[in-house]
């Protein structure tokens, strides 16, 4: 996760690491616990992955989730319509949370 953050220019100097906490889920334990586990493409050997979603979490409580639909196993389509950054930023701004 740190390498991804550096590749995205998220550094302690520009403050991004203080507002975005990157937490890996390599064994998919969190993903399964959230009920968001899926197999994207078993014929290509991708195996278990997290379904695409974004969420706002405050004080360990999920405030809002944007989950791509339909959530299918071995889904051919790879939806990316509501879990995108634009949708999240619009939600944060409309709820006065964009100053975090």
Rounded CA separation 53/86 (Å): 13
Ranges assigned E (strand) in 33-80: 37-39, 48-50, 53-58, 61-67
Structural domain boundaries of the chain?
25-94
pLDDT digit string, tens, across residues 26-62: 899 999 999 999 887 767 777 888 999 999 988 889 9
Task: Give 79-99 pLDDT, tens digit per residue.
Answer: 889 999 899 989 999 998 766
Regarding the domain delimited by 25-94, which CATH topology (the fold level of the hierarchy) does it fall under? Glutaredoxin (3.40.30)
| Secondary structure E strands in the chain | 37-39, 48-50, 53-58, 61-67
pTM reported for the whole predicted model: 0.72
For 59-74, what is each residue's pLDDT tens digit? 889 999 999 998 888 7
């Amino acid at each position: 996760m740190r390498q991804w953050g550096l590749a995205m220019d998220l550094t302690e100097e520009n403050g991004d690491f203080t507002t975005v906490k990157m937490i890996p889920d390599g064994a998919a334990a969190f993903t399964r616990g959230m009920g968001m586990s899926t197999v994207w493409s078993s014929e290509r050997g991708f195996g278990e992955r997290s379904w695409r979603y974004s969420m706002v979490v405050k004080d360990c409580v999920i405030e809002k989730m944007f989950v791509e639909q339909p959530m299918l196993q071995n889904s051919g389509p790879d939806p990316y319509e509501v879990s995108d950054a634009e949708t999240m930023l619009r939600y944060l701004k409309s709820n006065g949370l964009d100053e975090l």
